[in-house]
Chain A
Amino acid sequence: MTALSDAFARARAEGRAALVGYLPAGFPTVDGSIDAIRVLAESGCDVIEVGLPYSDPVMDGPTIQAAAQQALERGVRTADVLRVVEATAATGVATVVMTYWNPVEKYGVERFAADLASAGGSGLITPDLTPDEAGPWLEASEQHGLDRIFLVAPSSTDERIRYTTTHCSGFVYATAVMGVTGARTTTSELAGPLVARTKQATDLPVGVGLGVSDGDQAAEVAGYADGVIVGSAFVRRILDAGGDAGLAAKELRALTEELAEGVRRG
């Protein structure tokens, strides 16, 4: 059992969904991202996704693109991301990395897995890597006891969902909409049926991401999913604070508490 599985089991035991918060490492700075993540961990996130900024983030909308670009312009390195993972895991919260595939391949799949495990990370979410192309990662994750979180989408056939979930561990990431990351004002009508189809294929917890931005949406999603994943809304708070770290922390805390209340209401 990884810390990730524990986090979902704990939430399930409390009869609620887990709150999963995403922030990119190195945004606004490496130390700044650690501070921001600590706020999320202290104020109610059960799981933290540390984003690895990438030059070509095809699954991300403008908000996360802007954050990733800013982090890269300030020189964030893969090694810095692992440092953020270490600091995040040290808070006691379950920690996973969300990354496009090329940076992992360049670092070395086996080496990345080893360093992620020793930093206290539980696993990887891979938006552009499906099990079809994941041979070396399946092997490395096995060897280092890391979780593999692949994505399912509203367009996935039942057969694809079975195939994908067979290779998942920790949880399954269900993308609520056909689209890229970004806060949306209404929740997706596609998410519920996708979660139901996914649950027919696996006993793993199912987390729903893409578009959740407030407590009411979190409560709604928590009504049918095991995890509520929030990213762009957090990033937006930091962007809007315009470099005022104190203001950003206050806003992040308020949003986390609202979402944490939401997942307990659902």
Chain B
Amino acid sequence: MTDQATERAPLAVDSAGPDATGHFGRFGGRFMPEALQAALDELTEAWQDAMADPAFTAELDRMLREYAGTPSRLYEATRLSEVAGARILLKREDLLHTGAHKVRNVLGQALLTKRMGKHRVIAETGAGQHGVASATAAAYLDLDCTVYMGEVDTERQALNVARMRLLGAEVVPVTSGSRTLKDAINEALRDWVSTVDHTAYLFGTAAGPHPFPALVRSFVRGIGDEARAQCLELTGALPDAVTACIGGGSNAIGLFTAFLDDADVRIYGFEAAGDGVETGRHAATITAGEVGVLHGARTYVLQDEDGQTKDSHSISAGLDYPGVGPEHAHLAATGRASYLPVTDAEAMEAFALLARTEGIIPAIESAHAVAGTLRLAREMPGATLLVNLSGRGDKDMGTAMEWFGLGRDRGEELADTATEEPAGTPEEDS
């Protein structure tokens, strides 16, 4: 606890790092064009000042409570627990305004934008959740908003595109590269380098160049802070393990941070394994990637032998990203957290199971965490497992209809697959 950042921003920095220049062990840092260095320095300073200012944190707390609906509930999923053979607690981030944990991050960043005197925000989005959250925060705080979204994602998440437009945001479909999240980030960075004097980049996950991984963590860590206290109150003890899905990793770092120093609490992140890691069609960055530099940070990256970024694949647009936040890379490298792959099929099985047992339709992203937790329950029978249910699944109904053949009178077969047999692949179903 010696660097200046720590003294200025006790909320923002903890024992996990980063150091003053944004490094988590060998990961992180700032690999960005010189043109953006001044803006990133300005952002770092403004953020640290804000987090040390009781007026800012009080206003953010008020917004989170009154507008977003925090603290989110910690819900004991008794029927799911029976099926799983372990005590499963769900952190209900899906019940927050806009339907996901992302609202915590954007309210923090948007309030910071106002404080910095900027009037426009830009954001990238994959599933559309961060885009919707950004558009919402922009409407709420009277900021102009432009959202970059890969063209492929605008097609598979058309409903979220409509939501963003209704909220007053401009949605720009990105047609370069693989036309998904990574290319949306590239395009947002290109916008930012030209508009940085009046525009803030609301980065959607705990990745990217310093200070974003630590900054985003500071706004989402309420998830874990709340869950830890709620779990103690509900069960009288800490959970045996905490689990979350990992794309860039913001919901996961939001949950994990509060438990990093609890040596007895095991930490699991579940990555999107798409068709299976062995098929090469996946987004399991830590499981199958190599250390490299992507979007401003050193981290694990899905890349070919020449360091070109590979396309990732996942049924879940929000996890379909070939990089991962640098702190997760560090937690994986140090062994503090374990990162395991979950396939599309496993996630969709858990998606249906949660709907049938608890009446909760999760985001497909969050269904990866549920699926991984069910697997974990078999290794840790009777254990208390705390899952971050990071978002709700309304946006995913189109995908679910296609996967399960819903709307084609397949309801009964779905009930069978959800509670007994693993769900088949779409090909087997159709």
Q: Is the CB of B21 within 8 A of A132?
A: yes
Interface presence of A127 (CB below 8 A): yes
The size bracket of the interface on A is 35 or more
Closest to A80 in B: B306
CA distance A105 to B290 in the complex (A): 11
List residues of A (59-92) whose CB comes within 8 Å of B's CBs.
Answer: 59, 61-62, 65, 69, 72, 77-78
B285-328 interface bits toward A, Cβ cutoff 8 Å, 1 = contact, 0 = none: 00000101111100001010111110000000000000000000
List residues of B (140-154) whose CB comes within 8 Å of A's CBs.
Answer: none
CA distance A72 to B310 in the complex (A): 12
Closest to A180 in B: B190
Q: Is the CB of B30 within 8 A of A132?
A: yes
Q: Is the CB of A180 within 8 A of B193?
A: yes
Looking at the complex, which of B33-41, B237-245, B273-281, B411-419 is the stretch in contact with chain A?
Answer: B33-41
Taking CB atoms, residues of chain B closer than 8 Å to A178 are 35, 193-194, 196-197
Q: Is the CB of B34 within 8 A of A130?
A: yes
Looking at the complex, which of A50-58, A226-234, A238-246, A251-259 is the stretch in contact with chain B?
Answer: A50-58
Once A55-B309, A69-B176, A175-B34 are accepted as A-B contacts, the answer to whether A133 and B29 lie under 8 Å apart by CB is yes
Distance (whole angstroms) from the CB of B176 to the closest CB of chain A: 6
Distance (whole angstroms) from the CB of A133 to the closest CB of chain B: 5
How many A-B residue contacts, CB cutoff 8 Å?
Answer: 114
Q: Is the CB of B196 within 8 A of A102?
A: no
Q: Which of A106, A133, A150 contacts B306 (CB 8 A)?
A: A106
Interface presence of A156 (CB below 8 A): yes
Q: Which of B293, B306, B309 contacts A101 (CB 8 A)?
A: B293
Interface presence of B255 (CB below 8 A): no
Distance (whole angstroms) from the CB of B177 to the closest CB of chain A: 6
Interface presence of B186 (CB below 8 A): yes
CA distance A153 to B301 in the complex (A): 28
Distance (whole angstroms) from the CB of B160 to the closest CB of chain A: 24
Distance (whole angstroms) from the CB of B407 to the closest CB of chain A: 38
Taking CB atoms, residues of chain A closer than 8 Å to B308 are 54-55, 72, 103
Q: Is the CB of B196 within 8 A of A129?
A: no
Closest to B297 in A: A133
Most chain B Cβ neighbours within 10 Å, of A56, A62, A106: A56
Interface presence of B189 (CB below 8 A): yes
Interface presence of B5 (CB below 8 A): no
A96-130 interface bits toward B, Cβ cutoff 8 Å, 1 = contact, 0 = none: 00000111111100000000000000000001111
Closest to A78 in B: B306
Once A56-B182, A56-B309, A179-B193 are accepted as A-B contacts, the answer to whether A105 and B292 lie under 8 Å apart by CB is yes
CA distance A58 to B30 in the complex (A): 14
CA distance A98 to B39 in the complex (A): 24
Q: Is the CB of B190 within 8 A of A128?
A: no
Most chain B Cβ neighbours within 10 Å, of A58, A65, A107: A58
Taking CB atoms, residues of chain A closer than 8 Å to B197 are 178
Q: Is the CB of B30 within 8 A of A61?
A: no
Q: Which of A65, A106, A129 contacts B176 (CB 8 A)?
A: A65
Interface presence of B32 (CB below 8 A): yes
Taking CB atoms, residues of chain B closer than 8 Å to A128 are 31-33, 293, 296
List residues of A (18-33) whose CB comes within 8 Å of B's CBs.
Answer: none
Interface presence of A152 (CB below 8 A): yes
Once A132-B30, A133-B30 are accepted as A-B contacts, the answer to whether A155 and B190 lie under 8 Å apart by CB is no
Q: Which of A62, A69, A155 contacts B39 (CB 8 A)?
A: A155
Q: Is the CB of B38 within 8 A of A106?
A: no
Closest to B188 in A: A58
Q: Is the CB of A102 within 8 A of B293?
A: yes
A147-166 interface bits toward B, Cβ cutoff 8 Å, 1 = contact, 0 = none: 00011111111001000100
Q: Is the CB of B33 within 8 A of A106?
A: no
Q: Is the CB of A153 within 8 A of B33?
A: yes
Once A55-B309, A65-B176, A180-B194 are accepted as A-B contacts, the answer to whether A156 and B301 lie under 8 Å apart by CB is no
Q: Which of A103, A132, A151, A156 contacts B307 (CB 8 A)?
A: A103
Q: Is the CB of B176 within 8 A of A101?
A: no
Closest to B176 in A: A65
Told that A56-B309, A133-B31, A180-B190 touch, could you supply 7 new A-B pairs with CB distance under 8 A?
A61-B190, A78-B306, A101-B31, A103-B308, A104-B307, A105-B307, A155-B36
Q: Which residues does A use to contact B, with CB under 8 Å?
A: 54-59, 61-62, 65, 69, 72, 77-78, 101-107, 127-130, 132-133, 150-157, 160, 164, 175, 177-180
Q: Which residues does B use to contact A, with CB under 8 Å?
A: 21, 29-39, 176-177, 182-183, 186, 189-190, 193-194, 196-197, 290, 292-296, 301, 303, 305-309
11 contacts between A and B (CB under 8 A): A56-B177, A58-B33, A102-B301, A105-B293, A106-B305, A132-B29, A152-B34, A153-B33, A155-B37, A155-B39, A160-B37
